[in-house]
Structure 1
């Protein structure tokens, strides 16, 4: 009886490093690291975010790895066309991991905080050009949506560039529990906030 075996060896094609950021994410006084790498073999050019946390022995250990949080550069649904957006930037400010991304007509920043053993989404700031809202002013109209997921308060402000007073401010309370974890977060979730 002859048996054939297939190797299930996973090949890591995320070989091109696009971003790296260092800072203290878990408030232990040691430098942690964020790395974004691109798979250069896959024609969609997917990206992987990895977060490494420092350990008491000084070494870094992989805490999170996600291929869902960043949109591929050439998504399948675009049939080989570029998605039109820069690869998101990551920053570490006062223990908060910030991810800044371009979106249609603007940008969005997500704040993740390391708590309860996970990186949880705590704040979203979305700025969009909203000239299609029907206002007749010749200046550009922007909508800024600030969503504090900890308190559940979401505030949208419509402003005209150059004017000191807001056109309209809308507030509502939306409780999201449990807070979204970075490893479960998908780039398409931008529509939720």
Structure 2
């Protein structure tokens, strides 16, 4: 009986060590770089960098956004790292199917970090600005259409949404392709405080704007 008990303890310890080893192994497999952009994000006159990497081992193909800020000595330090801002290429809920969207593009211009993403029936653009040690969401621009099965014609209505999170002004404009006349325009004030930080931002938050 004692030998059986000892054997059981050995197996339990071995299984726990194996699980621990797997957790360490699977902790960080973002081994494939898909995006890189350089520019001055904190207005210190030096080049900062953003990188997007993919985990090619995980079958959902998750992605990570990393933001590196420069120092006076020229070295870059990781300031922000997020695995929530970009949707995995093969989400679990899709049961092995691709999400049908390309990996978001990132741009740096005049101190603003811009993220452009495809969404159902259009695209959405987010602007983040460095402020007091954080990258805060300050602008959202979204363009969608009501086309069925992706077919766009002269009857398709496009809706452009502009949301200035600093002032709270949210404007929606409806028009048709090729038409110079606005069909409808709606304005309202929506105050979000504090401003969303990039490390807390999730790809599903697009539904909020």
Report the TM-score, using the length of structure 2 for normalisation: 0.86
2:131 aligns with: 115
Give the 3-state SS of the residue equivalent to 1:43 in structure 2.
coil
1:93 aligns with: 109
**Matched-pair contact (CA < 8 Å) for 2:154–2:176:** no
**Matched-pair contact (CA < 8 Å) for 2:121–2:147:** no
2:166 matches 1:150: yes
Task: Flag structure 1 segments of 5+ consecutive residues without an equivalent.
Answer: none
2:184 matches 1:184: no
**Matched-pair contact (CA < 8 Å) for 2:138–2:165:** yes
**How far is 1:131 from its partner?**
4.2
Encode CA deviations 1:62-109: one digit per residue, 9 max, x unaligned.
000000000000000100000000000000011000000000000000
**Matched-pair contact (CA < 8 Å) for 2:160–2:172:** yes
1:81 aligns with: 97
2:68 aligns with: 52
C-alpha separation in 2, matches of 1:178 and 1:116: 13
**Matched-pair contact (CA < 8 Å) for 2:154–2:177:** no
Encode CA deviations 1:154-192: one digit per residue, 9 max, x unaligned.
000001111111100000000000000000000000000
Report the TM-score, using the length of structure 1 for normalisation: 0.93
Task: Flag structure 2 segments of 5+ consecutive residues without an equivalent.
Answer: 1-5
Q: Which has the larger radius of gyration?
A: 2
Aligned residues: 189
**How far is 1:139 from its partner?**
3.1
2:184 to 156, 159, 168: 168
C-alpha separation in 1, matches of 2:154 and 2:197: 41
Give the 3-state SS of the residue equivalent to 1:77 in structure 2.
helix
1:37 to 53, 66, 76: 53
**How far is 1:9 from its partner?**
3.5
**How far is 1:12 from its partner?**
1.7
**Matched-pair contact (CA < 8 Å) for 2:112–2:127:** yes
2:5 matches 1:15: no
